Chains A and B, each alone.
Chain A
Amino acid sequence: DTAVSQTPKYLVTQMGNDKSIKCEQNLGHDTMYWYKQDSKKFLKIMFSYNNKELIINETVPNRFSPKSPDKAHLNLHINSLELGDSAVYFCASSQDVGVGEREQFFGPGTRLTVL
Chain B
Amino acid sequence: AQKVTQAQTEISVVEKEDVTLDCVYETRDTTYYLFWYKQPPSGELVFLIRRNSFDEQNEISGRYSWNFQKSTSSFNFTITASQVVDSAVYFCALSEARVSNTGKLIFGQGTTLQVKP
Interface residues of A (CB under 8 A from B): 31, 33, 35, 40-45, 48, 55-56, 58, 88, 90, 92, 94, 96, 98-109, 111
Contacts and interface: CB of A to CB of B under 8 A. Distances in A.
B44 A101 contact: no
Contacts, number: 75
Interface of B: 32-33, 35, 37, 39, 43-47, 50, 52, 89, 91, 95-97, 100-107, 109-110, 112
Contacts of B32: 100
Contacts of A94: 103
Nearest to B110: A41
B104 A56 contact: yes
Given A43-B91, A100-B33, A105 B47 contact: yes
Contacts of A35: 105
B102 A99 contact: yes
Given A88-B43, A101-B95, 9 more contacts: A33-B104, A42-B110, A45-B106, A99-B95, A100-B32, A100-B104, A103-B47, A106-B46, A111-B43
A104 B102 contact: no
A100 B103 contact: yes
Nearest to B89: A41
A108 B109 contact: no
A44 B102 contact: no
Given A41-B109, A42-B109, A43-B91, A104 B101 contact: no
